[in-house]
Amino acid sequence: MVNVQSSTIGYPRIGGKREWKRALERFWNGDISEAELLATTEELRLDSLAKQRKLGIDLVPVGDFSLYDHVLDTSIMFGVVPKRFGYTGGKVSLETYFAIARGTKDAVASEMTKWFNTNYHYIVPELEGITPQLVENRPLAFYKEAKEKLGIDGKPVLLGPVTYIKLAKSYGNENFASLLQEFTPLYVQVLQELAEAGAQYVQIDEPILTKELSAEEIEQVKKAYTAMSKAVPQLKIILQTYFEKIANYEAVAALPVHGLGLDFVHGDSLSLLQKYGFPKDKVLAAGVIDGRNVWRADLDKKVALLQDILEHVEQERLIVQSSASLLHVPVSTEPEEKLDPVIKGGLAFANEKIAEIVLLTKGVQKGGAAITAGLEESRKALAALNNSKYRQNTEVKENVAKLTDQDVNRALPFAERIQAQEQRFQLPLLPTTTIGSLPQTPEVRQTRSKWRKGEITDQAYEQYINSQIDKWIAIQEEIGIDVLVHGEFERTDMVEYFGEKFAGFAVSEFGWVQSYGSRCVKPPLILGDVAFSEPITVKESVYAQSLTKKPVKGMLTGPVTILNWSFVRDDIPRFDVLNQIALALRQEIEALEKSGIRMIQVDEPALREGLPLDPEKHKAYLEAAVYAFKLATASVQNDTQIHTHMCYSEFNGIIDSISALDADVISIETSRSHGEIISAFENNTYDKEIGLGVYDIHSPRVPSKEEMKQNIHRALQTIQPTQFWINPDCGLKTRKEEETIEGLKVMVEAAKEVRESQLATVQK
């Protein structure tokens, strides 16, 4: 009899100190060969597998590693390469792989968007005109590698066909049934080859099943999984879901697979078991350890949860695992030597979560007495954090408790205050601006690193930052941009920077996670009550404004984005933390305004991504998000202009909430989605000012002036010229200086030409 087993769904790719990122970027810069890149990443991959086995995991996932993105990996496995990249068949080259993700001089990169409601980005597959075929069995290669080089009989992981198709672009070919029928034989071939190689388990990820599917779609899903299961009856297929509870639980639970993976942390999956039970012929892979947050688990509660689960499934049919891939958390707390021991003791990164999984598995196998020491250690660490000074700020709690609706409304409605703003700023038609950040060169990062290490003085560092501001204010004025930015050279990351300044936050040293491609972020830790301590952005903003007569935007990150892009304490309601952040930002905004900064951008790129997958939770989330944004921004004068920025979002369903933010100007990504977001404004009336990004900054490619003009004209079919701003899609921090200058020059030239044509039309 097989006893309860331990497993993970996936593991971080980047290495403990981002070795993966550095190898990728060295390869892209031509500093290492393809062979050297592959050798380095193989070493990292094998080390990760060995670490999981050493920590005690029974079912080690293989094939979850990626050089860029696992959805893109699925595309190239099946030869799904857009025609513009010149692919002619066979195994997809690494050059083409990265071209799809990053674009080339002659071919626009594929769209990139958020992976469900996380801050991870995936490359959206393009299925138009594609006949898929299996050109490389990636899970098989990874399975063989682990078996031959480490002796690990791993659990191959692949993205399921339902999720892959549902997340793809088909440009009019919306026939889910025919696409699924086309891909199913290819998945069968992948599974057959795995079975022939000796694989016992395979994990097929279908997170899309947390969303409601129609009866017809469910029938097609059943046909696909029936075909796969019949083809490989000896293979134990674990159908893995995560991020929420399954929407069509009864139908999914009846699919002919060996096991079903459920998220018991972010989805109320226990209620499904209690209402419908669990199939007697299946294994339950129970995600009880949080794969998306970094706090040590309350193991007593997890033991109780597992006891509840065991009322519905026998011990021998249980797998204990993380709720989602550990891709979403850092690798290990071990090197975090600078954190307060109380904080460090309350954390669990990937390796520590694996230890929790193994401990809980042991408890199920051998009883609670076998894990008494581990439980006691957990209790002490959590008690130390909960009773610490970080969570005892009564003033913050009282300020949140006494908030009223009067605290969240501007003095005048938009239609009246915009007149005062126009009088103050005197901007031309179709004003140009950027989103905020400007290139952070290696020199900028190295200088910051020296300052942090104490190798240069505070004064020397401030002088250096000011020199960068001097340089880029001059560049922006020379290019002819209408509303300038200071460039954010003093900031490591748009969220981490505020985490370093507000009370109630801590910042780790090695807590990196992948965001997109080689881009890694280090989310701050919201561990206590959040409070404003002193002005954060005023000094640089005021200095930049002193250099020019044009308006310079103050640049802040909004409360919802700070919340969604941080690791948030889990001992109080999440929306209480959100309002604490908003109150702290309100004081920062008031400090900027008092110092003469009258155009202030409060970025909310993560507002849409934080929308819960469960539709029943949408209303509460959106109301809380709107309330917090208004709480942060509503106290300014009528002629102070509030901007915000959002990206990678489907806005049709939340356009009313966006309008309710009551920001004077909003900028939104649109170029990488081929302008499709504009449809949200075709179908809804939007009465405020708006900038739809006219070129993609996530690719080194600089579009032509005609391309940018085309994007502008496309937007002007829906939006009035008097409402419209012209800007890039997003911040320019990750771009090189020459790319940035060239891109902005082209953007301003395009704007001027369209402006002249619009003015000429009005004069006629």
Binding residues: 18-21, 114, 435-437, 488, 519-520, 565, 603, 609, 645, 647, 669, 730
Mutual angle of helices 458-479 and 538-546, in 10-degree steps: 50
Q: Is 698 a catalytic residue?
A: yes
Q: Are 641 and 591 in contact (CB under 8 A)?
A: no
Q: Is 516 exposed, middle or buried (0-12, 13-18, 19+ CB in 10 A)?
A: buried
Enumerate the known binding-site residues for Zn(2+).
645, 647, 669, 730
Q: Are 472 and 735 in contact (CB under 8 A)?
A: no
Mutual angle of helices 574-594 and 538-546, in 10-degree steps: 30
Enumerate the known binding-site residues for L-homocysteine.
435-437, 488, 603
What is the DSSP-derived secondary structure letter of residue 287?
A: E
**Which tokens is 655 given?**
């356009």
Enumerate the known binding-site residues for 5-methyltetrahydropteroyltri-L-glutamate.
18-21, 114, 519-520, 565, 609
Q: Are 433 and 599 in contact (CB under 8 A)?
A: no
What span, in angstroms and rounded, lies between the C-alpha atoms of 436 and 252?
45
Secondary structure string (H, E, C) spanning 434-468: CCCECCCCHHHHHHHHHHHCCCCCHHHHHHHHHHH
**Which tokens is 220 given?**
């097609």
Q: Quick check: helix, strand or coil at residue 518?
A: coil
Residue from 121, 258, 312, 698 carrying the catalytic annotation? 698
Interstrand relation of 525-531 and 503-506 (parallel, antiparallel or unpaired): antiparallel
What span, in angstroms and rounded, lies between the C-alpha atoms of 155 and 144?
11
E strands, 451-538, are 503-506, 513-516, 519-521, 525-531
**Rg (Cα) of the chain, in Å, rounded?**
26
What span, in angstroms and rounded, lies between the C-alpha atoms of 699 and 348?
34
Q: Which amino acid is at 138?
A: R
Q: Quick check: helix, strand or coil at residue 154?
A: coil
Burial of 81-120, coded b for 16+ CB within 10 Å and e otherwise, reads: bbeebebeeeebeeebbbbbbbbbeebbbbbbbbbbbbbb
- Cα–Cα distances in Å, from 763 out to 474, 756, 758? 33, 10, 9
Residues in a beta bridge with 287 = 263, 321
Cite the active site residues. 698
